[in-house]
Structure 1
């Protein structure tokens, strides 16, 4: 047993076994690695393992900075123009705080138990860190402080799974039943309204979205390339023409002649549709191919924010946009539908596809191209975390009360700012998506393991004291805000059901819920609503840790 009490062994074993049991799935509900890690750590903590507070604090600072860094671009975009959906994050916070206040008054929860209930029912693990830090600043005997911090972890572990079950079942089963809605049919109808076609569904199944075909010029003879492409709303491009034995490059002023073989590239449905203006399809001439490129570009050009994808062709000069296609759009790390009716936001990462030179020109017009490679800028990362810790040490006194963000809140604010700076200039401060996800997952897992190992000996007391009360409250506190948002969104704001359900998943910061919704909807339409509230809730919910602690202390008998 002495081997298991080694802190390094205990932490890593908690991660390994925690993520193993976290893979267990019951229907659409999965425990998840973080909750699994906490459960294993609580069990190993019974052996008296103690982990250095320095490791715990370092891991949490890394996690919360990476969280802010990835959320920064979308957060700043949404606080300016996304509050129509962002109001649901406020509904989540206000409703949960009211329910929490009632629970504290009814059951006499201490600040740690209340914070754990908040974190678990809202499925926001970062609250554990901000609440634990707030408790450490209270003027309390050390034994009481340790007990409260242990209660955070225990209450979270007892309520997280039930909070997750409640939000998944509500959004995928109960909400569609309340609204008498067929989620799949409505998601498909909304996708078609945004410009989706059957070919987009084929592309999801593995067929290419952008294709190239060759045709006899037919009735188009006599037109210029520019006139032909404009007649198809620039949805296709004639990139090469075979005239006799010559293979010619084209410009908008290039005149088509009878007998030409034209090579047309564009979205599958658009290329198929040009057959009524061209002659018979012919084999693609040899040597027609040329270098094509893809490039990820972060949108920073203000003039495109709030516009649909289809508007870009009207906004750009023909020589800039011809032959360029958007094959993917990512927002907050999630793929959203790359359809002609999709509305673009600041910080969106669009993938451009087309001829290499044309892609480079278009990238300069839209924003900042992400540099190739996947190296992390550790200067930027280290400086960002240190700045966050410095911010966290600042405090303001109002009467007898001292207000401070703490290291968690400071690192979050710093991450938001540094993420915004990187969006403005991607050539500096690189923290690739894979590295950011690792920093978030590993940092949070190490922090949770340390919390669980420290709380282990005190966990049984809370479980014995409250029994099934905490799991029941986890269900209730998760369910009620979702129901309020559903009624507000459907009755007052008239938001389409697939997007509204994505909004509710986002206000809850629940990745398993959006995954279940996308699976049930049959497309990624719910993600459109999810990314807005996820960006805002991911910032606001962690900051509630200290507020919950203060509220519980004020209401305690």
Structure 2
């Protein structure tokens, strides 16, 4: 038992057992490591173990900076590109704050409990940090501040699970019933409208996306390479032709003869569909292969932002786009469908596939190559966090409210800016995806563990005081904003259902929800809407921490 009260042992025990507990599932919902860590910390907190406040603040600064760093490129891109989907993040905030104010008045919630309700029902753990720091700035005794901060953790633990289950069930089951749609059918139809020609089972069956085949020219003899490729919307490329014993590098003007053997490369289904235009298929002769490359590039070119993938071919000259394909698109760490109708945003990471020289030229035209390697630029990281902590010391007034960003809000703003700068120059300030995910996961988990350990002794008092009120409020505060967004999106804005449900998952910053939606839809179409609102809500919700504290302080008096 003595070992359990050692702060270092307790911290890692909270993380280990917490993530083990987080693997538990309730229907389609997984508890999650952060919530599991809090539950374990609340239990160990009964033994009186404490973690240094300095470690707690250090962990949160690391988490919130990494959160801003990864969200920065898409956040600024969405601001410049319009807030058509971003308005749903505003709906989330307005609805949750309104319901929270009503709950404070009716049930006389204290400041800490109100913050925990906000963070748990909105499933936004970062609010705990920004709000806890705001509470520490109030003119209250140290004991009262500690009590309010412990109430945050307890209320969060009581409302998070119910809020998470509610939003998952609402988006995957209730919303499609309300709209009277078959989510999977709608998602497949939308994918076809965006240019999908691939079998939905391709990935399950492990079939290759890109293939190369050899055919006799046959009926296409007398046509140019350019005419054939254009007739297939450039979904295939004929880069080499064997004429007799001679292997010829082709150009769009190259005229085929019926006995020529053409080497066709492209997306699997496009090559299969084009097969009927050629003669017999023949084995690919040996020693006819050529170097192909795959390279990731951060999309920066202004002319390409806001355009569909198919439109990029019309922007490029024939020699630049022939044989070049976009094999994948990543946005906010999420893979979105790389379909011909997919609209690209600044900061998207495109994986280009094709001949080495063509890929190299296209990379320079579209943006900045993602540098190889996985080393973190600690100079950039340290400077960014320091700048954020300095920003956090500024305060300002909004009417009767005196607000301060605090170290958490400052680090978030700094992360946004430094993430945007890294997008502009990927070779500088590197924070690889894996490193950023570790910083977010470990930083938040360590912070939550510290909060839970300090709140442990007071947790049962709050549970006895409010009973079932908090879980019920967690469900209401989670579902009602989603219901409002469903009405606005479907009736007023006419957004396609799969994308709209992804938007709702994003406004709630709920990764488990988008995972359940993708599984239910059968493809990744919902992610298109998710990334926009996720980037905006992931910034705005944590910044609401001090606002919730100020609002609760006013209404509680």
* Deviation (angstroms), 1:255: 3.4
Q: Name which of structure 1's ranges 66-75 and 285-294 shifts more when overlaid on structure 2.
A: 285-294
2:502 corresponds in structure 1 to: 502
Instruction: Report if the CA contact (8 A) 1:130-1:546 is conserved.
Output: yes
Q: Is the 8 A contact 1:82 1:532 kept in 2?
A: no
Provide Cα deviations, 1:423-450, integer angstroms capped at 9, x if missing partner: 1111111111111111000000000000
Check if 1:120 corresponds to 2:120: yes
Matches within 5 A, 1:267-346: 267-346=267-346
Contact 2:401 2:550 in 1 (8 A): no
1:363: Cα distance to partner?
0.9
**CA pair 71-204 structure 1, distance change in 2 beyond 3 A:** farther
> Is 1:4 paired with 2:4?
yes
What's the CA shift string for 1:61-95, capped at 9, x where partnerless?
A: 00000000110111111112241111110010000
Measured against aligned partners, the alpha-carbon deviations of 1:324-345 in whole angstroms (never above 9, x if no partner) come to 1111111111111111111111
Indicate whether 1:416 and 2:449 are aligned: no
* Alignment partner, residue 151 of structure 1: 151
Question: Does structure 1 conserve the Cα–Cα contact (< 8 Å) formed by 2:197 and 2:270?
Answer: no
SS of the equivalent of 1:109 reads coil
**Residues 93-492 of structure 1 aligned to structure 2 (within 5 Å):** 93-199=93-199, 201-203=201-203, 205-396=205-396, 402-492=402-492
SS of the residue aligned with 1:310? Answer: helix
TM-score, normalised with respect to structure 1: 0.98
User: What's the CA shift string for 1:399-426, capped at 9, x where partnerless?
Assistant: 8864321100100001100111111111
Once residues 398 and 232 of structure 1 are traced to their aligned partners in structure 2, the CA distance between those partners, rounded to angstroms, is 59
Q: Which residue of 1 aligns with 2:527?
A: 527
Following superposition, the deviation at residue 478 of structure 1 comes to 0.4
Secondary structure of the structure 1 residue equivalent to 2:5: coil
> Shift of the alpha carbon at 1:201?
4.1
My pick for the range that moved more, 166-175 or 201-210, is 201-210
Aligned to 1:80: 80
For residues 415 and 321 of structure 1, the distance between their equivalents in structure 2, rounded to whole angstroms, comes to 35
Are the counterparts in 1 of residues 134 and 404 from structure 2 also a CA contact under 8 Å?
no
Q: CA deviation at 1:203?
A: 4.3
TM-score by length of 2: 0.98
Q: Contact 1:263/1:288 (CA < 8 Å) preserved in 2?
A: no
Moved more, 69-78 or 389-398: 389-398
Q: Give yes or no for contact 1:71–1:416 (8 Å, CA) kept in 2.
A: yes
SS in 1 for 2:297: strand
Contact 1:77 1:345 in 2 (8 A): yes
Q: After alignment, is 121-130 or 308-317 more displaced?
A: 308-317
Give the RMSD, CA atoms, in angstroms: 1.4
Aligned to 1:57: 57
Q: C-alpha separation between the residues in 2 aligned to 1:148 and 1:411? A: 23
CA distance in 2 between partners of 1:492 and 1:34 (Å): 36
SS class of match (2:16):
helix
Q: Kindly state the Cα deviation for residue 235 of structure 1 after the two structures are TM-superposed.
A: 2.0
After TM superposition, give the deviation of residue 243 of structure 1 in Å: 2.0
| CA displacement, residues 513-548 of structure 1 (integer Å, 9 cap, x when unaligned) | 011011010011111111111010000000010000
Deviation, structure 1 residue 398? 7.0
1:285 positional shift? 1.3
- Partner of 2:392, secondary structure, is helix
Residue 42 in structure 1 maps to residue 32 in structure 2:
no
Instruction: Give the aligned length.
Output: 557
CA contact (8 A) 2:200 2:522 kept: no
Contact kept in structure 1, 2:403 and 2:547, CA below 8 Å: no
Q: Distance in 2 between matches of 1:462 and 1:337?
A: 46
Conserved in 1, the CA contact under 8 Å of 2:293 and 2:354? yes
Residues 190-221 of structure 1: CA deviation (Å, up to 9, x unaligned): 11111112446424532111111101122333
Distance 1:397 1:195, change over 3 A: closer
Query: CA 1:502 to 1:406, structure 2 compared with 1: closer, same or farther past 3 Å?
Result: same
Q: Give the unaligned 5+ runs of structure 2.
A: none
Alpha carbons 1:199, 1:209 under 8 Å: kept: no
- How many angstroms apart in 1 are the aligned matches of 2:214 and 2:204? 25
Question: Does the aligned pair in 2 maintain the 1:212–1:266 contact within 8 Å?
Answer: yes
Matched, 1:14 2:49: no
The CA distance in 1 between the partners of 2:12 and 2:492, in whole Å, is: 49
